[in-house]
Structure 1
Amino acid sequence: MTRPGPSALASTWTFFRQWLKNPLGVAAISPSSRQLARQMMAELPYSARRVIELGGGTGVFTQALLDHGVAPADLLVLELNEELHQHLVKRFPQVQIACADARDLVRVAGERGFGPDAPAHAVVSGLGLLSMPRQDQRAILAAAFDCLVPDGRFVQFTYGPANPVAKEVLDSLDLSSRRASFTWWNVPPATVYVYARRFSRAIRPRSMR
């Protein structure tokens, strides 16, 4: 069995320290597992080149996105916690990393070159949407889809089997949801959900007799 290296141990300790300070703001007691990261990457669109990550944490998904082939300049990471933000800046000096609230994504993305002329193909989220008020869920998802191409995806993980986004929020934004995968090899066990815009198919008119 391979033991975690010094950088992994440092990331885990940094994450756990932030959880001790703010257990409601940091949803888990340890960083996400590599198994969960692989499952999140598997749900990216095949042609995904530009990606936004919400809630970078210690960089598990950030590293997975880089390993997946996303160029550092084409990756924007938002992390609201200042200590975790500084950890990410030191670990990924070539990646665009902002200390910002996900509800303010449209402004941040515009300032970082992810505006209407260069939208993202996917948003990967480690935010604790399940514990958020519905108005915050709606604000974050609305901002995310404002920064995505028309067929872009929002890939989210949550603890437990329940959809973390309320049905009324999905309906108000005209979004579909799909439960993609589940892993026990995470602390706590996690489920991956994928959200996308609903596209209505054109209905051919009936022929007149």
Structure 2
Amino acid sequence: MDRNPHSALAQTWTFFRQWLKNPRGVAAISPSSQQLARQMMSELPRGARRVIELGGGTGVFTRALLEHGIAPADLLVLELNEELHQHLQRHFPQVHVACADARDLARVAIAHGFHGETPADAIVSGLGLLSMPRQTQRDILGSAFDCLQPQGRFVQFTYGPANPVAREVIEELGLNARRGSFTWWNVPPATVYVYSRRVSRAIKPRSMR
């Protein structure tokens, strides 16, 4: 994994080019900062081994997860943008990388062995949930928790201080939402949120659509 300045500049340009093509689909104008990546990693459950990443982008969180100790074979990354998907495949050839919509996570997870008896310990998300319709949020989070073990965590960042997931979605899925750390050193500044199941109200598995 190349960490030289030229590689970082190339990643920034790759990300910015995709933002120019689709500013609503790509939530930021530059990749996430290393500080934000560290804050996201700090919210992983202790001893987390299997992780799913949503919205891999240029691989800032992917690289951080590998450096955190997640084995490539135990990491599944979804990226809907085809150019960014190809970028991830080139730079992380041993990681499971899928070009797919996060709403289809359950199907993708089954195909890559991250479902059923081998669920993920955590999901790290770089998706722009704040700008998504409520039903899309519900579909993504519902599918995500179908792939998590009972004590698993969904770790999300958002721009600004507000919870990016609608209160109605949190209540419908029976989740707890906890605000984590905030960093000014991201463009734009970002806040980390952590979602988990309520112990007293476990989510029933949804039938596959």
> TM-score interval w.r.t. the shorter chain?
over 0.9
Q: How well do the aligned residues superpose, as a CA RMSD in angstroms?
A: 1.1
Number of residues of Structure 1 aligned to a counterpart in Structure 2: 199
What amino acid does structure 2 have at the position aligned with 1:24?
R
Q: Give the 5 Å matches for 1:61-100.
A: 61-100=61-100
Residue of structure 2 equivalent to 1:124? 124
TM-score norm. by structure 1 comes to 0.94
Distance 2:128 2:18 in 1: 15
Distance 1:143 1:189 in 2: 28
**Structure 1 unaligned runs (5+)?**
202-209
Paired-residue identity, %: 78
**Structure 2 unaligned runs (5+)?**
202-209
TM-score norm. by structure 2 comes to 0.94
Q: Give the 5 Å matches for 1:33-72.
A: 33-72=33-72
What amino acid does structure 2 have at the position aligned with 1:113?
G
Shift of 1:115: 1.5
Q: Give the 5 Å matches for 1:162-181.
A: 162-181=162-181
Larger radius of gyration: 1
What amino acid does structure 1 have at the position aligned with 2:94?
Q
Residue of structure 2 equivalent to 1:110? 110
Distance 1:173 1:122 in 2: 17
Superposition misfits of 4+ residues, deviation over 6 angstroms:
none
What amino acid does structure 2 have at the position aligned with 1:95?
V
Distance 1:74 1:176 in 2: 26
Residue of structure 2 equivalent to 1:206? none
Residue of structure 2 equivalent to 1:207? none
Residue of structure 1 equivalent to 2:204? none
What amino acid does structure 2 have at the position aligned with 1:52?
I
What amino acid does structure 1 have at the position aligned with 2:46?
Y
Give the secondary structure class of the aligned counterpart of 1:149: strand
